[in-house]
């Protein structure tokens, strides 16, 4: 009889996470904050009760409660057909993330001023992200930071650039289920 957490890959291979190949250190549901932490970092700390090397632990994080907002506009074309387009919501707070430092900085969507193309920031896609957030220079941990946000791929018209911006907490990913595990040897 098989027991444990069963993990499958895209090829159909599977393995059960048991005490022989791994041990669950912490698991549960975390509510994500609506604001940034000190130093403009973001995430929720999960204490581990001991110190581990980065190669000894793993994290599975799954966003379970999420929210997003966008403005939908319709455009009538000369052939009397309509196109519906999504735009970033200027009433929401979005952030850009520096992947090297983890620092989040504000990004403001255009206010969609009629006749001014640079104030319309189109949304190409929107999806939730969650995971273990750490800097490459960190090698030992007595806690892990769960980072989660709603990613919005937008065309920033004022900068004429495609970018990914994030919304957090009750305006992004509100809750995450997670498991921190010790890898077996």
**151 belongs to a structural domain:** yes
**47 belongs to a structural domain:** yes
8 Å CB contact between 95 and 169? no
Token pair, residue 125, equals: 């896609």
**Sign (positive/negative) of CA torsion 123, 87, 131, 62?**
negative
Residue 2 pLDDT > 70: no
Grouping H, G, I as helix, E, B as strand and the rest as coil, residue 10 is coil
Residue among 115, 116, 120 at smallest CA distance from 90 = 120
Domain count, the chain: 1
Token pair, residue 177, equals: 């289920």
In which band, very low, low, confident or very high, does the pLDDT at 97 lie, cut at 50, 70 and 90? very high
Burial status of residue 140 (CB atoms within 10 A of its CB: 0-12, 13-18, 19 or more):
exposed
**80 belongs to a structural domain:** yes
Residue among 95, 180, 87, 170 at smallest CA distance from 141 = 180
pLDDT for residue 152:
95
**18 belongs to a structural domain:** no
Domain span at residue 61 reads: 26-183
**153 belongs to a structural domain:** yes
Task: Report the predicted TM-score, pTM, of the whole model to 2 decimal places.
Answer: 0.82
**163 belongs to a structural domain:** yes
**98 belongs to a structural domain:** yes
**83 belongs to a structural domain:** yes
pLDDT for residue 1:
43
pLDDT for residue 115:
79
The more confidently predicted of residues 71 and 67 is 67
């Amino acid at each position: 009889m098989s027991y444990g957490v069963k993990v499958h890959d895209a090829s159909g291979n599977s393995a059960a996470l048991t005490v022989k190949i791994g041990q669950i250190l912490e698991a549960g549901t975390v509510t994500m904050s609506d604001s940034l932490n000190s130093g403009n970092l973001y995430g929720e700390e999960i204490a581990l009760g001991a110190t581990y090397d980065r190669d000894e632990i793993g994290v599975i994080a799954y966003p379970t409660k999420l929210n997003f907002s966008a403005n939908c506009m319709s455009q009538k074309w000369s052939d009397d057909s309509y196109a519906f387009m999504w735009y970033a919501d200027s009433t929401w707070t979005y952030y850009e993330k520096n992947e090297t430092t983890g620092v989040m900085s504000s990004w403001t969507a255009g206010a969609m001023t009629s006749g001014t193309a640079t104030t319309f920031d189109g949304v190409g896609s929107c999806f939730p992200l969650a995971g273990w957030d750490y800097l490459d220079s960190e090698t030992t941990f007595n806690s892990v930071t769960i980072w989660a946000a709603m990613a919005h791929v937008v065309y920033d018209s004022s900068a004429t650039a495609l970018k990914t911006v994030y919304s957090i907490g009750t305006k992004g990913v509100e809750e995450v289920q997670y498991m921190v595990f010790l890898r077996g040897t």
